[in-house]
Amino acid sequence: MVFVSVKLTNLRAMNVKSLPQLLDTFKDEATCVKYFENLIWGGKPVCPHCKSDKTPYTLKKGYKCSNNECYKKFTVKVGTVLESSKIPLRTWFAAVFLATCHKKGISSVQLALDLNVTQKTAWFMLHRIREMLKDKTETKLSGIVEIDEAHIGGLEPNRHKSKRQAKDVDGRPTGLANDGTIYNKKKTVIAVIERGGKVVVKSVSGANVESAKFMIDTYIQDGSDLMTDESPIYVNTTKHLNRQTVNHGSFEFVNGTAHTNTVENFFSVLKRAIYGTYHQVSAKHLPSYLNECAARFNNRDSNPYNNIDMFLSNSRGYLAYKNLIAK
């Protein structure tokens, strides 16, 4: 193990303000490792296998646990989403910057070109980064909260004829596409957003009372002021909230403090990210993309380099490629 003499705390303390400065700061792997160790361990190695903080043996690459009951080798990557990755940490740090600082994200094709890796590698890297962006400390929203639903997916006339919804002789939908496969309808998402605060957005089964009640009961604190449109799915789900509505069907968009403009603004950025950057998102991976967009929104007022510190600190966990691609 090569030790660096530079004191590495966080990017703010190191006065990093641009991508070139980021890459200049982390010129070699040893510097990157020391920085990552400080974020994950606070500078003192902890065995990810047995959680022992007893001073480990130092190896050429990493450590070996000094706990006699464990005695396993490890590096700072073990137990994080970077585990088993052969990609240099310097490249990882650049990837986190590119994925989190661009308002609408970055595609795996573009990231592959920027980092000189394959598209498959860039795709896996982005999914690991999305694991970092998960909010692991979910709290209920309060104050003035808006809720709305959106539908993700292409317009029916824009689909290839073989993928459009098939109908029977009476003109009723059959549940199949014209080519005989299962018809993929638009995916429904519901978002709740605290004005001036954070957003929580989830993929749900549909725009129905059950989905609305789940989002309200799970993510909104009783007694809050809830702003909705005229959709009937919210009628019987808000008895512990002070509900106010606007009627979009009558071209009413603001009524005093009542409006859903904040959540609709979030949806506009979300849809532009999906349609403009990623183009197509499967139902399986949609929750990860929603988490990514929510994380960028929730940290919109923070210094982007402080966010990199936070996201890397939140990288504990493991994402296996075989699980990612499993059907």
Domain boundary assignment for the chain: 19-136+315-325, 144-281
pLDDT tens, per residue, the chain with 327 residues = 333 334 456 776 677 778 888 899 899 999 999 999 999 998 899 999 999 999 999 999 899 999 999 999 999 999 999 999 999 999 999 999 999 988 899 999 999 999 999 999 999 999 999 999 998 877 899 999 999 999 998 777 777 888 788 888 888 888 788 888 877 778 999 999 999 999 999 999 989 999 999 999 999 999 999 999 999 999 888 889 999 999 998 999 999 999 999 999 999 999 999 999 999 898 899 999 999 999 999 998 887 777 888 899 999 888 889 989 887
Q: Residue 178 has what pLDDT?
A: 85
The total of other beta-carbon atoms located within 10 Å of residue 86's CB is 5
Q: Are strands 144-152 and 187-194 parallel, antiparallel or unpaired?
A: antiparallel
Q: Residue 6 has what pLDDT?
A: 40
Q: Residue 1 has what pLDDT?
A: 36
Instruction: Name 70's Cβ contacts closer than 8 Å, sequence gap at least 6.
Output: 47, 49, 50, 52
Return the H-helix or E-strand segment holding 8: none
Per residue in 37-54, pLDDT tens?
999 998 899 999 999 999
The total of other beta-carbon atoms located within 10 Å of residue 214's CB is 16
Q: Pick 144-281's CATH classification: 1.10.10, 1.10.8, 3.30.420, 3.30.300.
A: 3.30.420
Tokens 């361990």 locate to: 41
Please list, residue by residue across 60-82, b when 16 or more beta carbons sit within 10 angstroms of its beta carbon and e when fewer do: eebbebebeebeeebbbbbbbbb
Handedness of CA 137, 138, 141, 146 (dihedral sign): positive
Q: Residue 162 has what pLDDT?
A: 84
Q: Which of 260, 278, 244 is nearest to 193 (CA)?
A: 260
Per residue in 291-305, pLDDT tens?
999 999 999 888 777
**Which of 28-31's residues contact partners 24+ apart within 8 Å by CB, and which partners?**
28/90, 29/88, 29/89, 29/90, 30/2, 30/3, 30/4, 31/4, 31/6
Q: Residue 15 has what pLDDT?
A: 73
Q: What is the pTM of this model?
A: 0.87
Q: Which of 96, 151, 34 is nearest to 299 (CA)?
A: 96
